[in-house]
């Protein structure tokens, strides 16, 4: 249609696959001008902040409406997206190179930090605005152009809204292109297209693995940043502050219904404090309110879709069949699953081996600290993790032995800060977001020498 914005690929099926090509070509064409103008990039990002402030209520309402976010989660997500954009304002002046010594007389040796070029961004549905802006804002700030494909569940908050915000902020035409469509329709074409030099993907480990394979095996090898699934252990040692552990576990498990890659996926409780911990966890979870996500006092809202609801219910059923005790539960209402707590879950149960992505908290008992560490590392994932102890030295010693990208002592597994490296190990992905670490992802180093005298 005539009123379709230039940054949006319209149509469906083959039309959208074909839309990837013009989108990437336009982004490639406009890359050089953006890369040479850091002041423009800073100004656009400053304007993005103004647009986000002016549209705050509208953005929050869209997050509630489209992704099922509770009001408090939507407010937190807006703040996260705002702060990552605020941090990105400064990247244009931080992309520093180096002058390095040369072993040859008369030779000058320079290392330039340059944009990688065109970046393809594939963002998820669970925290769509923030996890899009986490890649998009620094990518553009560092002089790259971008083609964005949001999750098909959240095309507005993960894509169209971002395109509109940047358009209002004065981003030059052709710098950002948004392609909306199902991953199984355009995903392969998007990743395998020869123009993008980098693919930034946030989503499941299974899809991330395929993207990594395609990026490395295509006609042109691409770099990737993959932020994938998690199986966060929440270890409570025998000297832990139980009340603090309970409040952190409740927040880490049930925020956004457990639909966060960092969500606490399993409690590992030392047998000495198990009973007290479980009793207080059940009591705290009983106080959570499930219902309409738009209401300010709602803690548990709807799961993203019916397919995910059925998958969560199947995990609960299998865990109980395997000997787990259901301490807290309830009937599903539409797509709203009330908080569930399962005790005496076997370490080999699928509910503790796989990412749950729902409001279900399984508890495993550990004989001692040694077994707790073994259980914490008994996973193919390695994103976030937690250990509770009153002894800081003990906590640091334990944390250093956990194979994960992030470990929080006496805190929540859900923790994302703009100045700290965010990323995982093993099947939780590769690369790091946030802070100066994202500059290593979204730029390339170019070594240039100049010989002024004969060798």
Rounded Cα distance between 93 and 104, Å, is: 31
Rounded Cα distance between 162 and 175, Å, is: 13
Residue 278 near residue 374, CB atoms below 8 Å: no
Rounded Cα distance between 452 and 396, Å, is: 52
Residue 433 near residue 422, CB atoms below 8 Å: yes
Q: How many CB atoms lie within 10 A of CB 8?
A: 18
Catalytic site residue 162?
Answer: no
Rounded Cα distance between 451 and 347, Å, is: 63
Q: How many residues can be counted in the chain?
A: 455
Cα atoms found within 13 Å of the Cα of residue 124, Cβ hemisphere only: 20
φ, ψ (nearest 5 deg) of residue 411: -145, -170
Rounded Cα distance between 277 and 267, Å, is: 10
Going by DSSP bridges, is the β-strand pair 429-430/223-227 parallel, antiparallel, or unpaired?
antiparallel
Rounded Cα distance between 243 and 277, Å, is: 8
φ, ψ (nearest 5 deg) of residue 249: -65, -40
φ, ψ (nearest 5 deg) of residue 201: -125, 135
> Of 261, 355, 369, 441, which is the active-site residue?
261
Residue 62 near residue 156, CB atoms below 8 Å: yes
SS3 of residue 290 by DSSP: strand
Residue 288 near residue 339, CB atoms below 8 Å: yes
Catalytic site residue 227?
Answer: yes
Going by DSSP bridges, is the β-strand pair 340-343/429-430 parallel, antiparallel, or unpaired?
unpaired
Assign residue 386 a region: left if phi > 0, alpha if psi is -120 to 50, beta otherwise? beta
Residue 193: closest CA among 433, 26, 430: 26
> Of 28, 77, 192, 227, which is the active-site residue?
227
Task: Read off the tokens for 162.
Answer: 């971002």
Q: Find where tokens 């004989």 sit.
A: 367
Residue 389: closest CA among 234, 216, 169: 234
φ, ψ (nearest 5 deg) of residue 281: -65, -45
Which helix (DSSP H) or strand (DSSP E) does residue 426 occupy? strand 425-426
- Residues carrying an active site annotation: 227, 261
């Amino acid at each position: 249609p005539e009123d379709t914005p230039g940054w949006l690929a319209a149509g469906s099926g083959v039309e959208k696959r074909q839309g990837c090509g013009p989108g990437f070509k336009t982004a490639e064409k406009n890359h050089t001008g953006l890369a040479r103008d850091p002041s423009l990039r800073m100004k656009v990002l400053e304007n993005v902040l103004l647009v986000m402030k002016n549209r705050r209520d509208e953005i929050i309402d869209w997050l509630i409406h489209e992704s099922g976010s509770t009001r408090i989660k939507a407010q937190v997500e807006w703040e996260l997206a705002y702060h990552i954009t605020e941090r990105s304002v400064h990247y244009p002046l931080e992309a520093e190179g180096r002058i390095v010594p040369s072993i040859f007389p008369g030779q000058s040796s320079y290392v330039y930090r340059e944009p990688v070029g065109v970046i393809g961004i594939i963002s998820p549905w669970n925290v769509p605005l923030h996890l899009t802006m986490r890649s998009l804002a620094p990518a553009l700030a560092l002089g790259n152009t971008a083609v964005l494909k949001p999750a098909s569940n959240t095309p507005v908050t993960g894509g169209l809204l971002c395109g509109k915000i940047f358009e209002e902020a004065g981003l030059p035409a052709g710098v950002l292109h948004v392609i909306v469509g199902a991953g199984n329709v355009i995903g392969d074409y998007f990743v395998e297209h020869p123009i993008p030099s980098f693919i930034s993907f946030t989503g499941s480990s299974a899809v991330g693995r395929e993207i990594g394979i395609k990026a490395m095996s295509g006609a042109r090898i691409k770099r990737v940043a993959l932020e994938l699934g998690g199986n966060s252990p929440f270890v409570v040692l025998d000297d832990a502050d139980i009340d603090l552990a309970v409040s952190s576990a409740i927040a880490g498990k049930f925020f956004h219904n457990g639909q966060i890659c960092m969500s606490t996926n399993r409690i590992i409780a030392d047998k000495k404090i198990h009973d007290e911990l479980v009793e207080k966890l059940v009591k705290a979870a009983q106080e959570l309110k499930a219902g309409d996500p738009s209401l300010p006092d709602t803690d548990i809202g709807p799961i993203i879709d019916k397919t995910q609801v059925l998958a969560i219910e199947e995990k609960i059923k299998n865990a109980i069949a395997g000997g787990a005790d259901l301490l807290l539960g309830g009937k599903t209402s539409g797509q709203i699953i009330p908080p569930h707590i399962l005790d005496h879950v076997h370490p080999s149960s699928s509910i503790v081996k796989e990412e749950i992505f729902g409001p279900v908290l399984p508890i495993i008992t550990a004989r001692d600290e040694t077994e707790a560490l073994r259980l914490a590392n008994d996973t193919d994932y390695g994103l976030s993790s937690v250990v509770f102890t009153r002894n800081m030295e003990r906590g640091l010693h334990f944390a250093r032995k956990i194979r994960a990208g992030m470990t929080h002592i006496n805190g929540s597994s859900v923790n994302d800060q703009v100045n700290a490296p965010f990323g995982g190990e093993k099947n939780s992905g590769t690369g790091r977001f946030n802070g100066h670490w994202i500059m290593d992802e979204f730029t390339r180093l170019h070594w240039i020498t100049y010989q002024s005298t004969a060798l």
